[in-house]
Amino acid sequence: MIKEYYEKHKEEIKKKSKEYYHNNKNKIRIRKKEYYKKSKSKFSENSKKYYEKNKEEIKNRTKKYYGDHKKEMNLKQRENYLWNRFARIIKQRQYYKNHREEILKNMSEFAKKNRDIMNKRWRVHKERYPEKVKARRIAYYRIKIPENQICEVCNINKATERDHRDYSKPLEVSFVCHQCNCKFERLPICLN
């Protein structure tokens, strides 16, 4: 009897349920959250039992799904990695701002204790980026930063560093403050 009624009025029932859901979205979400909090242990027990019973089937299903949707999954992973990378950078910057003195102190202590490691790092850097090192050295000795020069990017702070947009042209530099130079190092943006 109920099935027959449902079959006759199927579209009307669906329409009403959609309307009810749209009108009471927040209430439904809150109820679901409360119910989940109350029954959390029950849910986890049931899911563990289900997994133990159907372990092989679940593994086969996931392998099949991954095989069918490999390209899409890889794209999603890449997007998530990039998004999380930006979130990580923001967290790292925030942590650095909050613990700056402690970090700098630890870095200087490490450098004093481990001179050989620091020298090795510098040698590796010179081998990996010879054009960068050469351009910076030429700019350091040939181009002096004018006194009271204001940063060309933010126009607020005093310029303390030379920034190369193109390392093949070592004498073409812009005078920038340390903060702006760090921003360009982390997220390269072409200045034109």
pLDDT band, very low/low/confident/very high, at 139 (cuts 50, 70, 90): very high
pLDDT band, very low/low/confident/very high, at 168 (cuts 50, 70, 90): very high
Q: Quick check: 142 pLDDT over 70? A: yes
Q: Would you state the pLDDT for residue 187?
A: 53
Q: Quick check: 63 pLDDT over 60? A: yes
pTM of the model: 0.45
Q: Quick check: 188 pLDDT over 60? A: no
**DSSP per residue over 158-179, as a string?**
BP-EEEES-TTSTT-EEEE-HH
Q: Quick check: 39 pLDDT over 90? A: no
Q: Would you state the pLDDT for residue 192?
A: 33
Domain ranges within the chain, ordered by starting residue: 100-186
pLDDT band, very low/low/confident/very high, at 42 (cuts 50, 70, 90): confident
| Cα-Cα end-to-end distance for the chain | 75
Q: Quick check: 35 pLDDT over 70? A: yes
Q: Would you state the pLDDT for residue 21?
A: 85
- Quick: pLDDT tens for 65-119: 988 988 888 888 888 888 888 888 889 889 999 999 999 999 999 999 999 999 9
Q: Which residue has the higher pLDDT, 99 or 14?
A: 99
**DSSP per residue over the chain, as a string?**
-HHHHHHHTHHHHHHHHHHHHHHTHHHHHHHHHHHHHHTHHHHHHHHHHHHHHTHHHHHHHHHHHHHHTHHHHHHHHHHHHHHHHHHHHHHHHHHHHHTHHHHHHHHHHHHHHTHHHHHHHHHHHHHH-HHHHHHHHHHHHH-PPPTTPBPTTTSSSBP-EEEES-TTSTT-EEEE-HHHHHHHHHS-----
Pick from 162, 159, 156: nearest CA to 135: 162
Q: Would you state the pLDDT for residue 186?
A: 61
Average pLDDT of the residues of the chain: 87
Structure tokens given for 33: 């959250």
- Quick: pLDDT tens for 147-161: 889 999 889 999 999
